[in-house]
Chain A
Amino acid sequence: AQSVSQHNHHVILSEAASLELGCNYSYGGTVNLFWYVQYPGQHLQLLLKYFSGDPLVKGIKGFEAEFIKSKFSFNLRKPSVQWSDTAEYFCAVILAAGNKLTFGGGTRVLVKP
């Protein structure tokens, strides 16, 4: 069964700092990869997704992620964070339609003003 690992459980940053969140998955076949964000008191929102093609994908709010197949990784980045980026971030993988979306444990990011 596939699994997703997010190695950082908590990250604390100052505004304008760069952010990188690690995500590794265990499945060797074709995967679709996602990053979701959950702002305090809000529902899960899709930040970005990778299905195929350019391994560097750009999402909303200035986030981007790079798919490195050889490393089974899909790390999330943002060059300069803002206080409003304080949230919990989830990496997720799905093998095909109808299969479960498997989530990592999440990373809580706190951006200090």
Chain B
Amino acid sequence: KAGVTQTPRYLIKTRGQQVTLSCSPISGHRSVSWYQQTPGQGLQFLFEYFSETQRNKGNFPGRFSGRQFSNSRSEMNVSTLELGDSALYLCASSPGTSSTGYEQYFGPGTRLTVT
């Protein structure tokens, strides 16, 4: 099976702009989670989607949003970018049910730099 893919891999944006990141999960996986990785804060959970519904959300401001499509692909959007949003954004894919296991498989990430 193909792994989790994320596009774009690198992105440079200016403060105040908005950005949309995309994630395609492993075929058959219905759960997609998003994480932010920074040197200072480590890996922090943003939100999780399962069958197009947001099941859980982390402690990030409303500028961070996401959605999931019927084919399980997911996008996350960050509006009004701030310098502190510079990070590696990781997408993780999972079967998402107790019968199939909760392990999450990560994509390569999108490196976002805000200038």
Q: Which residues of A contact B (CB under 8 A)?
A: 32, 34, 36, 42-46, 49, 51, 90, 94, 96-106
Contacts and interface: CB of A to CB of B under 8 A. Distances in A.
Contact of A90 (B43, B45, B96): B43
A25 to B, nearest CB: 15
A75 B98 CA distance: 24
- Which of A46, A100, A105 has the most chain B CB atoms closer than 10 A to its own CB? A100
Interface residues of B, number: 26
A101 B96 contact: no
A35 B94 CA distance: 16
B102 A97 contact: yes
B21 interface: no
A97 B53 CA distance: 13
B48 interface: yes
Residue among A42, A94, A105 with the most chain B CB within 10 A? A94
B33 A46 contact: no
Contact of B56 (A45, A99, A103): A99
B66 interface: no
A101 B48 CA distance: 10
7 contacts: A43-B90, A43-B106, A44-B90, A45-B106, A46-B104, A96-B98, A100-B56
Nearest to A95: B102
A98 B42 contact: no
A54 B45 CA distance: 29
Nearest to A98: B55
B61 to A, nearest CB: 17
A10 B102 CA distance: 28
Contacts of A32: 102-103
Nearest to A34: B103
Interface in B25-70: 31, 33, 35, 42-43, 45, 48, 50, 55-56, 58
A98 B43 contact: no
Contacts of B104: 46, 94, 101
Contacts of B90: 43-44
